[in-house]
Amino acid sequence: MIEQDFLNYSADTLLELAGRIEDCLGRLSNEQIWLRHSENENAVGNLVLHLCGNVNQWIGSGIGGKPDTRERHKEFEAREGSLGTRLKDTIAEAAKIIRSVPAARLAERLKIQGYDTTGLKAIYHVVDHFAGHTAQIIFATKLLTGQDLGYYAHLNKPKQAEAAR
């Protein structure tokens, strides 16, 4: 069914992107994770906290029915903290919730963060939002480390090797 394909792809995408963020966190020092050049910028650590808050609110609470305990402003006010397994646990739980959504719930009307939406739109919002901030974290990691993170190295094969296939 197309509905289950959407749900599985959404869960898989969140897991893949979270893995890239975890990789970035592993390449950065604690100082780099919380670095801000000005108060108008968010540190990588703040973006991770923000993503966890967003996923918990939209998927855990909005789709999964858990209490909404999010305090969004605190995600951006933090200047330090242990991110540890927070991201991994948040995304694992969200992926489990997403995969278990009955197809009929995709059209169900929901009110999340003051927005009138549907289950499908809520899941799409989370994946899109997560992808955008993942790109920011990847970009920041490249700037801070000067490293090629290699996520698409498999696409950089010489043309001769491709022609030989």
pLDDT digits (tens, 9 = 90+) for 77-86: 878 887 879 9
CATH number of the domain that residue 84 is part of: 1.20.120.450
User: Cβ of 119: how many Cβ atoms within 10 Å?
Assistant: 23
Over pLDDT 70: what percentage of the chain?
96
Longest dimension (CA), the chain: 56
Position 46 pLDDT exceeds 70 = yes
pLDDT tens-digit readout, 116-145: 999 999 999 999 999 999 999 999 999 999
Domain extent at residue 126:
2-164
Q: Is the pLDDT of residue 161 over 90?
A: no
- Find the mean pLDDT for residues 86-95: 97
Contact 84, 151 (CB under 8 A): no
Cα separation, 62 vs 119, whole angstroms: 8
Tell me how far apart the alpha carbons of residues 59 and 164 are, in angstroms, rounded to a whole number: 46
- Per the structure, how many domains does the chain have? 1
